Amino acid sequence: MNRHRSPYPLIQNNGRTRRCLSCGTAVDMKRRRYCSIECRQKLRHNLNIRTGLLQALQIRYATFYFTEHLVILDMLPYGSTDLASFIFPRAKGKKPVDDFCKMFNLLGNAWWEEVRRTKKRYLASRFILGKAKPTDGDINAVRPLEVREPARMARSLTHLKLRNKDLHSPQLQQIIKRAFRRQAKVHHPDQGGDATLFRKLRDAYEQLIRWAENPTFTTRRGFPDKWFYEGGLDHWTQPSPLRRLRTED
């Protein structure tokens, strides 16, 4: 069993129907993960402008996701091994971003009321976390997955019609050279090809050869089906495809 699997069926994938990871719509999704850039940006913006409560609660990691009937916020406070989960019902006709804002506003208002009553912020934070739904979930459900990817190689791979997995081949330099020769036969100016495109192919070839001699990688953290918050950075990361996963050390 996948240790990152949620106890709730996620809305974005119902059988063969792909759904937007921001609003849940299945209309005209095809192979896309989001119905539009604007939809994705709206949810991320509203997540990021409401991180003050997470900071007050001293949250190390959090995830946000939704089903057709619920919005779920799982949190792991610093120094704790217990998950704090808030599960709110979806409002009919509303988008997940609206449901999230309502949930967070209710929690934030409750926190401030407790601050005014006790004059102690830590007591207010304890009060809010005490209202969380008890859960037997694995803390790894909110600890981020990591993926290492070759740094800035996507465009060069596209020009030479190579795949990302080719960069992990022990015969990488030979693969690059063969790919360049194939494209050069078609696009070399002496063969009637476009000179500008050929220069791009040449640049891509040289960049990939340099990378093969000294590979560099970038690391991304997050989940393929949840919005992920990291307290140290104080921002939310959108769901993204994670292919070669490893757990945090």
Contact 248, 143 (CB under 8 A): yes
pLDDT of residue 246 exceeding 70, the answer is no
Angle in degrees, 0-180, between the axes of helices 37-48 and 96-118, rounded to the nearest 10:
10
Of 17-26, 111-120, 121-130, 216-225, the range with the lowest mean pLDDT is 216-225
Q: State the pLDDT at residue 58.
A: 96
CA distance linking residue 9 with residue 17, whole number of Å: 13
Q: State the pLDDT at residue 17.
A: 66
pLDDT of residue 133 exceeding 70, the answer is yes
The residue-averaged pLDDT of 3-29 equals: 66
User: CA 27 → CA 44, 66, 90, 179, 241, distances in Å?
Assistant: 21, 18, 20, 38, 21
Q: Which amino acid is at 21?
A: L
Of 31-45, 54-68, 113-127, 140-154, the range with the lowest mean pLDDT is 140-154
Please tell me the total number of residues recorded for the chain in this structure: 249
pLDDT of residue 245 exceeding 70, the answer is no
The residue-averaged pLDDT of 226-242 equals: 88
Contact 70, 87 (CB under 8 A): yes
Of 14-18, 157-161, 242-246, the range with the lowest mean pLDDT is 242-246
The residue-averaged pLDDT of 27-53 equals: 91
Q: Is 110 exposed, middle or buried (0-12, 13-18, 19+ CB in 10 A)?
A: middle
Tens digits of per-residue pLDDT, 154-201?
Answer: 889 999 999 888 888 889 999 999 999 999 998 998 888 889 999 999
The residue-averaged pLDDT of 207-223 equals: 83
User: CA 97 → CA 23, 29, 31, 44, 174, distances in Å?
Assistant: 7, 19, 22, 9, 49
pLDDT > 70: percent of the chain: 86
Q: pLDDT averaged over the chain?
A: 85
Please report which confidence band the pLDDT of residue 242 belongs to, taking 50, 70 and 90 as the band edges.
low
CA distance linking residue 31 with residue 200, whole number of Å: 28
pLDDT of residue 7 exceeding 70, the answer is no
User: CA 65 → CA 85, 144, 159, 175, distances in Å?
Assistant: 12, 14, 36, 41
